[in-house]
Structures are given as structure tokens and as C-alpha cells.
Amino acid sequence: MAWKLYTDAACSQEFGGTLTLVHKTDLSDNPQDTQLWYANVDDDPGDNQILEKVEATAPGTNPITLSIVDTTPGSGHEATEITLAKTAAGLGTATAGASLDLGQDDASIGVVRILSGASAAEEVNIRVENAVTTPGSSTELSIEIVETIDRDTSV
């Protein structure tokens, strides 16, 4: 299925996979905030919420977790420099390095899910608190989402 990260709320610009931020070496520009949106618009062009995404091991019960993964801990940037939240205001109280639970029981039906379509996109707010003072590019951090399954909501 075509669940992707987007750089705009309309979900028309796919996230290319690299978050580019320029930081001052004296860290005086910390923190820097940005947003992405997680959605499936390709399989739901009518924005009718025809699909739901649920976590695979306990569908509808477990949250859909988005995490920052560090492939080389202790080298370059650390996952603890990244804070994730569902809202910009939530960045101030969220724990740096913690994963973000996407989806919710939006219809009070007892199912934790994300619905397809741009209007149901999950907002992902990202705060980067740079701790590296050496100029350079870092590619050791990535985004990981737990294994999920998609289901038709009309069934």
C-alpha cells in the first residue's frame, strides 16, 4: 500500500527521505522544528477514508509507532536529539528520543487506526536539538514504523 510521509498538509509533496537542516556550530539556533504528514492518498484519491492502517501483531489494539532509529549510536547525531509529537505544542512536553504513537480510536469503536486520505493524515512534528558542533552531513538517523496491515473500511 502507498502510505508515505509528506512535507505538506495537503499530502501533495512526498518526503524525499532526507531531512535537511542547517545548524550553527555554536548551537545558537537550537532547537529547529519541522513537520511531516503520514498518509495514504494514492489508494484513496477521493479522500473517502476507504482504508485503515492498524498495527500487525494486535490489529486495532496496539498503537502504530513511529521511531527514530540510530544506525551508529555514539557516532554523529543521536536519536535523543530528536523529539516527536502529534502537535507543535506537544513538542515542548514530549520526551526526546521517544517514539510517537500514531493513530487513535477516532470513531470510539475500540480500534486504534489511521484512516486513508489527505484529510485524515497524521501530523508528525519534529524538533531537532542539535548536539554536534562539527560541520558535516549526517545520515545515520532514519524513521521506522512498526509492521502494519491495511484493511478496507467498507467491510
Listing DSSP states for 69-90 in one string gives EESSTTSSS-GGGEEEESSTGG
Average pLDDT value for residue range 97-112: 86
Domain that holds residue 44: 4-11+25-152
Average pLDDT value for residue range 47-63: 92
- 3-class DSSP assignment, residue 19: coil
Instruction: Report pTM.
Output: 0.89
Residue 17 belongs to a domain:
no
Nearest-angstrom CA–CA distance, 6 and 123: 10
Nearest-angstrom CA–CA distance, 55 and 105: 13
Is the pLDDT score of 89 beyond 90?
yes
Residue 125 belongs to a domain:
yes
Residue 19 belongs to a domain:
no
Is the pLDDT score of 42 beyond 70?
yes
Helix, strand, coil percentages for the chain (3-state, nearest 5): 5, 35, 60
Of the candidate ranges 17-21, 77-81, 86-90, 109-113, the one whose mean pLDDT is the lowest: 17-21
Look at phi and psi of residue 97 and say left if phi exceeds 0, alpha if psi is from -120 to 50, else beta: left
Is the pLDDT score of 1 beyond 70?
no
Is the pLDDT score of 19 beyond 90?
no
Residue 18 belongs to a domain:
no
pLDDT score at 18 = 83
Neighbours of 5 (CB within 10 A): 20
- 3-class DSSP assignment, residue 92: helix
Residue 76 belongs to a domain:
yes
Q: Are 71 and 56 in contact (CB under 8 A)?
A: no
Q: Are 44 and 11 in contact (CB under 8 A)?
A: no
Half-sphere exposure at residue 129, Cβ-oriented, CA atoms within 13 angstroms: 12
pLDDT score at 147 = 94
Residue 83 belongs to a domain:
yes
Any idea what the Cα angle at residue 83 is, between residues 81 and 87, rounded to 5°? 160
Average pLDDT for the chain: 90
Domain count along the chain = 1
Is the pLDDT score of 66 beyond 80?
yes
Residue 91 belongs to a domain:
yes
C-alpha cell at 95: 520526551
- 3-class DSSP assignment, residue 20: coil
Is the pLDDT score of 92 beyond 80?
yes
Confidence of residue 140 (pLDDT cuts 50, 70, 90): confident
